[in-house]
Amino acid sequence: MKLSRTSTYALYALGYLAGSNPSGYTPVSLISQEFGLPPTHLAKIFQRLVRAGILSSSRGVSGGFALRKAPQDLSLLDVIEAVDGSVQDEVCLLENGCDDDSPCPLHAVWRKGQQALIDELRGKTVAELGEELVMHARRRQRARRRQALA
């Protein structure tokens, strides 16, 4: 299983919302600039997340997008499935016709690894991701300051 670019953008953006402005509206342009993401693509992703009930949107000068659900109640798996659909990958590593009834030699290993990843994504919240993004941004700022002083 590989995360799509769309789900990766969604995770970064929602982590940013959770870490920087969990209760207010944030314009797409601000998030786009923060991570260097294409604003039109990010806006389309956000519309999907609005339809999924994860975000709310507001028009106008102080508009933008905000988390509709509490970030601690939103798993990374919820976000990925909202933008990409189910993560249960039916594609086998060795054979196209492999399934539970007719497994290939790596079937059990693949399923175990896939389930471990799904469990990990289900156990990690957008709030936790937001905290990690804030800490990462602070480390980047400190490193930039040190470089500027050197």
38-97 pLDDT, tens digit per residue, is 999 999 999 999 999 999 999 988 889 999 989 999 999 999 999 998 877 666 666 666
CATH code linked to domain 5-149: 1.10.10.10
Structural element, H or E, at residue 140:
helix 126-149
Residue 104 has a pLDDT of: 80
The CA distance from 7 to 13, in Å, is 10
Q: What is the dihedral of CA 45, 47, 53, 56, to 10 degrees?
A: 110
Radius of gyration of the chain (CA): 18
**pLDDT category, 138, cuts 50, 70, 90?**
confident
Helix (H) / strand (E) element for 114: namely helix 107-123
Residue type, 122: R
Could you give the C-alpha distances from 90 to 76, 82, 94, 105, 122, in angstroms and in order?
A: 20, 18, 12, 15, 19
Q: What is the pLDDT of residue 148?
A: 85
Relative to beta strand 64-67, strand 55-58 is antiparallel
115-133 pLDDT, tens digit each:
898 999 999 999 999 999 8
Task: Give the pLDDT confidence score for residue 147 in this predicted structure.
Answer: 84
pLDDT at 11: 94
CA distances from 137 to 64, 67, 70, 101 (A): 22, 20, 22, 48
pLDDT attached to residue 105: 80
